[in-house]
Structure 1
């Protein structure tokens, strides 16, 4: 611009006033100093600062308090046009200007200059053509000083606030070290996110059978605990778990990866929690999260992830100890009851055989042989149970029809009087513990060996969604309640029925396979239903 003596003097005075604006300690002080500078230094008639606030431009400072400056929508009039376009406007005659829409008919001319995301600086006069392009340039220089001062104050404020939040998050992390259950941990995390990080809508979700499921959510969040979000290979959450990297989404509607779990979600951040979980903060407005929000969320998520892993390790240790205690109890019951009874039978038969005639002696020796074989089978079954308990990670894929066929063919040879009927379609596969064939054999053998008549055992399998249902049904006397109930309650009692050890083996194989074991009520015989996961 061409600088005359008057303009040079204004520039010099503006330079001196800039230091006063820069030394302001609050945004309110910046705004008031700026409008006073506009009047005293630049000769502006009426000068005001309008701050953007929830869709409006609200006056926060003015040099002439006798003039009423009104709040405007941020898309209306010269104020709105300036804010939306971030361009300066010179209005020489408001009466002829298409966009000015002055709040007072006495306002005849003005200068409107953007302040970035802060709002608008505006100078107004009751005289037409009061301002010119030089005034626009001077106002723009004043606006630069306003923006820089506000940015510095906000930066200091944000730094103090960030430090305060980090200190509070550290205290939360320390408190989480004493948490011993997942429920308390999850709610403590959500509460910290709401209270400390000021995330009104936030949640923790975790992979569950191929989908993300909400584990905990703040009260305001449109999703509830237990809600299914989307598949684990979809959306930003899927990307975060896959890559282990956090993500900020400014507008979910225009994002190529985002797949909002609720129609109201527009912006958000997602950070990983451990290996299979995420923390998410969301909002129904665009662009509500930044890198600093993400970094603070990562600090919280790291503490939650460590506590989650610690609790999971403790629970695994408790489960392992409970399994070993139960295994010890099962072994003890078998040795104390089944083995004791069988040894009594062998001892009694052997003693009687010494005095028996040849024909009776042969029968007694057959009894000794059968009982010894049963005793060896029971001992082998206990050894097999221990193997299943000790090796929980032996998971593989089985073709059910082939497995059942192999089992029944072997039992056809050893039990030629039994009728074995199968109804298992080809192509049905399951993911199960490596001893799945042994579990199937135990169920079929149970139906054969405890039928006093001519045994008939039916084996069938069907798909049910992503699960496979294997059913084994016999027409025998049924399994006594006192043997079924402890298996369902995780506690052993006297194994008075020879099927007891076998049922425990089935139970542990099914548990290790992430399946379920049921004993439906039937009018006659026994029906055992096993549900297992299908292929991945």
Structure 2
């Protein structure tokens, strides 16, 4: 059995509070059945207080079962405050009438009725406050959890950036020696080791750049998507001379700030090329402007994005059995979401069209707006397209 001290500590005295008032008012009805003769007297003298005390008891039981003793104590304090305040008001009312020569009938019952009303008011305020306290505790827990996850992310990033990179650099150096071996078998295997070590080095670079991106502040300026596409694809053509790249952009296509917009454009164009097995892969890039949005279409004539790969991005989650082959499309997904845009994949009879829709931003100034390519944002952190390649996308 629980001791009285534990009942007080756990807040379960609230149950006794509600049941005690319930028995008091029910007993008054039993010994004074005449209070039911008139409806106002029945409601305000007996039925109302009985319902109120039953409500306090029900609240106490529900809190104990659903929210635990912490919330029970929390609400119990408010019930006690409401009961004491109402009891004082009832007593002062009785004293006031007596000082004015009026003696209220059944003064004790009057004070108990007022006190019961105070317990109900206290329970309602207590439930609201307990719910707010639970939300506050949950938020504090989530903040601590986020802080812990952030700390672990920094540790993991340090391992990828320093420890793993240093060891892989050693492997890469020895692999280069194997490539120069006169034995063709050793040379071939050394080349494989060197390629894989370069992918791991690239992975460590991506970890560093992504951390810098997450910790950087996004500058609220207008970006001309048309200028970004034109400039980035000129460099892309030089990097992939075998690809045929068609570009159709308007004079201006103003959008809001998009993190790594230039890198996003290159990643979409690169995915269209490296997944294409044609000798001369075709990439068509078009920027379409509407009244309230700007859309970037990147079309190819390749086999398209695999269904399993697309399902990952449509669901927004990865699993051990269903995951993306690389980081490129995730970078696109995150950047578009950060900018408040939409990413869409659409199949064609030949190839796939990837569309990015971004909110349009028109400058109110008569002067030409300053074009800010997100590449400058990337350059600030030494972020390049190559740093986002960890192998075939």
TM-score (ref. length: structure 2): 0.46
Higher relative contact order (CA 8 A, sep 6+): 2
Give the structure with the larger helix fraction: 2
| Structure with max Cα Rg | 1
Give the structure with the larger strand fraction: 1
